[in-house]
Amino acid sequence: MKRLLSALIISLYLVSALNAGEFRELYKISLQKDEQKKFLVKYGNYERLLQFRWTLYTNEGLVVFRSYDRAVAQNILYLGATNAMFRVMLKSQGANTFNTPYVLVKFTKFDYETNRAEFEVMLFDAKMLVQLQELKK
């Protein structure tokens, strides 16, 4: 019974690890304080703006403000912790869409010398429904 349970746990772990690598696009970004990063999200006839910036880094926590399609939020991200990232759902979940496209923004590093925070932005979209375009200033 123990072997069966441990085999089940290991197989679930392997399946989740394989699914974790299914992102379609990866952007590596370095931002100074209050510098905004913008992405244009396109699907169907819709164009939406995803933007975020960080305002404070203290006690190893980074305060990030974000907005997507009139929804504004604030997150506190920590390096190496379970809350090092936030997720933004890009489309509403319809009746025929089980895996809704989303973006993960992960805080990866803070450079004290240059006062810059580094992020990875990953697009998860198995059905190729969404285009993500990085906007330059």
Could you read off the pLDDT of 72-118 as tens digits, one per residue?
Answer: 999 999 997 778 999 999 988 765 566 788 999 999 999 999 999 99
pTM of the model: 0.78
Residue 17 has pLDDT above 60, yes or no: no
Contact 131, 42 (CB under 8 A): yes
Q: pLDDT for 28-70, tens place per residue?
A: 999 999 999 999 999 889 999 999 999 999 988 999 999 998 8
Q: Spell out the residues 6+ positions from residue 18 whose beta carbon is closer than 8 angstroms to its own.
A: none
Domains and CATH numbers, the chain: 24-135 (2.60.98)
